[in-house]
Amino acid sequence: GAFALKGVRCSRDDFVLPNSGGLPLHASLYYQGQRVEDAKGKSAVIYCHGNCGCRLDANDVTRLLLPEDICVCCLDFSGSGVSGGEFITLGAREPGDLKFIVTFLRTIGIVQVGLWGRSMGAVTCLRYLHTEKDLSIAGIVADSPFTTLPDLMREIAKTQLPRLLLPLTGPVLRVIEGRVAKKAHFSLREVDSTVSAQECWVPALFCHGQSDSLIPSTHSDQIVAAYAGDCRLVRVKGDHNDLRPLHFQQAARLFFKGVLRGGLKTPEQLFAGVKEHDDRHEDDDDEDTASSSSSE
């Protein structure tokens, strides 16, 4: 349907694609203009939602990027939203779904593609770059990814279980692994974001909440340390599902405006919008801390 955003006429087109298993993937494309042909020759960012989310989670990203004439595409992964499938796989099979969306955008004339993922979606972006070796992706924003599912489950157990029950974590984990393999047909050990990061060369802007009670920020620390390409990690105040502060949203928008233009850029140019930590403002609620890694 048609709508106006900041005085600009925009459109949303919904579409359905079959994934590799024949399941329907429901997706939406937002762009400036009245017909899908108006998106030809433009750039797009694909938003990848978290494990309990759907494509509606892309609304904030759409409002952020669409006024810059950057198209936004979002999908319901298999097992989420109204797409087909019974189970999500927390990053194991989702990269395959993402591949179909990337291919579709190429066929309608989208020139440059970026990825923005949160939680499971962030892991999916990393795994896609690793498994598909798609160096045509201009850049990614990865918000609160995890390293591996077993590591995450052990950490959750430490915070949720009484100390006396902690020795049972290993046996319980093995039981869960067996049931997941039998019912959902994937292994919890398939997903290792640190291994994937070693094969990722496109520029990446990471974000993680300092008070994330579900996925501790140490997961992003490990992934950034392993990342092969130029990257920057921004730690923001807040929990796992909290709205990200305006300064990070602005930094992400500037990051995509830069990488989607194409061409070689220095790390300083890539992350020009990311504020460095300033010790004089440690107690300022609006301040963030940043760390970086580059492939120089």
Q: What is the pLDDT of residues 217-255, one digit of tens each?
A: 999 999 999 999 999 999 999 999 999 999 999 999 999
Q: Which single residue is written with the structure tokens 């939602």? A: 49
Overall average pLDDT of the 131-142 stretch: 96
Indicate if the pLDDT at residue 56 is higher than 90. yes
96 touches 20 (CB < 8 A): yes
Reported as type and span, the H/E element at residue 123 is helix 120-132
Indicate if the pLDDT at residue 175 is higher than 90. no
Indicate if the pLDDT at residue 158 is higher than 90. no
Band of the pLDDT at 201, cuts 50, 70, 90? very high
Indicate if the pLDDT at residue 8 is higher than 90. yes
% of residues, the chain, pLDDT over 70 = 88
DSSP reduced 3-state for 75: strand
Give the model's pLDDT for residue 161. Answer: 60
Order of strands across the sheet with 71-75? 2-5, 8-18, 24-32, 71-75, 43-48, 112-118, 137-143, 204-209, 231-236, 289-293
Nearest to 68, CA basis, from 30, 99, 106: 30
141 touches 252 (CB < 8 A): yes
Higher pLDDT, 36 or 286: 36
Indicate if the pLDDT at residue 283 is higher than 60. no
Give the model's pLDDT for residue 77. Answer: 98
pLDDT, tens only, 80-130: 999 999 999 999 999 999 999 999 999 999 999 999 999 999 999 999 999
Give the model's pLDDT for residue 192. Answer: 97
Indicate if the pLDDT at residue 279 is higher than 90. no
Looking at residue 56, the DSSP 8-state letter turns out to be: G
Band of the pLDDT at 281, cuts 50, 70, 90? very low
On the CB side of 288, CA atoms within 13 Å amount to: 25
Average pLDDT score over the chain: 90
Indicate if the pLDDT at residue 277 is higher than 60. no
Give the model's pLDDT for residue 168. Answer: 63
